[in-house]
Amino acid sequence: MDAFHKTISNVSVDCVIFGFDFEKLNVVLVEREFDDPVTGVILLKDFTLAGYHIFEDEDLDNAAYRILKDRTGLENIYLEQFATFGKVQRVAKAKDQLWLKLIDQGFADRVLTVGYFALINSTNVNLCSEKYKIQWVPVEEANGMELAFDHNEILQKALDTLRDKVRTEPIAFELLPELFTLTQLQKLYEAITGNPIDKRNFRKKKLQMPFIVPMKEKQEGVSHRPARLFHFNREIFDNTRNERFGNLF
């Protein structure tokens, strides 16, 4: 527990941090481990999303940004609240009750948590934390793991929300570098939706969207023919969003 802040025992924030490596959609998982202080035997070891209880003197958004900075070292990234989770049994599993007992920080047996998802261009980001073991895990793999608490449900809800929003909102570009190729953009949408997209139709539709701006630059350091780079222009998108472009993919 933070020495200068008192936590609220029954309210937490959980952040689903998505990243894209040009091939897969990934999520940040935090290793949860507790060893017997006498014998060194591992009593509990699994993975959670990036989350923690909120402080009495902060609002929910500030708590989410604090948790992101604490777990990843990152600031000024896209963050959006998407759902609240409050099932009676969400912290009732034996291993989660054991965790609450072992850490002994006065957290309640009934905890409401507010879910946020964060989007990171992870191609040039190094996650760092002095206190936690964190790693990128492919979303498909994470969905097959037994995460702590109800974090599998939270992850799936975040993914469903992301899939819905990328159809009409340009949030997918938060997962890309400033300059990207159309192939990279297509792979991103395929990674998010889990479905293949016809390359010809995709390129034709994207080239008709004025807010996806072709640049003079091309790829560098690639073994194949360098592709043209593009840039998402937020101002153009905002000025033309009422025009009939249909879904973004």
What is the 3-state secondary structure of the chain?
Answer: CCCCCCEEEEEEEEEEEEEECCCCEEEEEEEEEEECCCCCCEEEEEEECEEEEEECCCCHHHHHHHHHHHHHCCCCCEEEEEEEECCCCCCCCHHHHHHHHHHCCCCCCCCEEEEEEEEECHHHCCCCCCCCCEEEEEHHHHHCCCCCCCHHHHHHHHHHHHHHHCCCCHHHHHHCCCCECHHHHHHHHHHHHCCCCCHHHHHHHHHCCCCEEEEEEECCCCCCCCCEEEEECHHHHHHHCCCCCCCCC
Is residue 217 pLDDT above 50, yes or no? yes
CATH of the domain at 178: 1.10.10.10
Is residue 239 pLDDT above 80, yes or no? yes
Would you state the pLDDT for residue 48?
Answer: 96
Residue ending a domain, among 130, 165, 200, is: 165
Q: Of 18, 37, 41, nearest to 29 (Cα)?
A: 18
Would you state the pLDDT for residue 1?
Answer: 47
Is residue 245 pLDDT above 70, yes or no? no
**82: in domain:** yes
**1: in domain:** no
Would you state the pLDDT for residue 246?
Answer: 64
Would you state the pLDDT for residue 244?
Answer: 57
pLDDT digits (tens, 9 = 90+) for 116-151: 999 998 877 777 777 788 999 999 999 999 999 999
Same domain membership, residue 26 and residue 104: yes
155: how many CB neighbours lie within 10 A of its CB? Answer: 23
Is residue 36 pLDDT above 60, yes or no? yes
pLDDT digits (tens, 9 = 90+) for 174-208: 999 999 999 999 999 999 999 999 999 999 999 99
pTM for the structure as a whole: 0.92
Higher pLDDT, 62 or 72: 62
**98: in domain:** yes
Is residue 2 pLDDT above 70, yes or no? no
Would you state the pLDDT for residue 65?
Answer: 95
Is residue 60 pLDDT above 90, yes or no? yes
Residues 176, 185: Cα–Cα separation, whole Å = 8
Residue ending a domain, among 102, 134, 165, is: 165
Higher pLDDT, 155 or 41: 155
Do 182 and 219 meet the contact criterion of CB atoms below 8 Å apart? no
**247: in domain:** no
Window from 42-51, 53-62, 100-109, 192-201 with minimum mean pLDDT: 100-109
Same domain membership, residue 108 and residue 180: no
Residue ending a domain, among 136, 165, 194, is: 165
Q: How many domains does the chain have?
A: 2
Per the structure, the complete domain to which residue 149 belongs is given by 7-165
Stretch 238-244: mean pLDDT: 78
Same domain membership, residue 154 and residue 99: yes
Same domain membership, residue 174 and residue 155: no
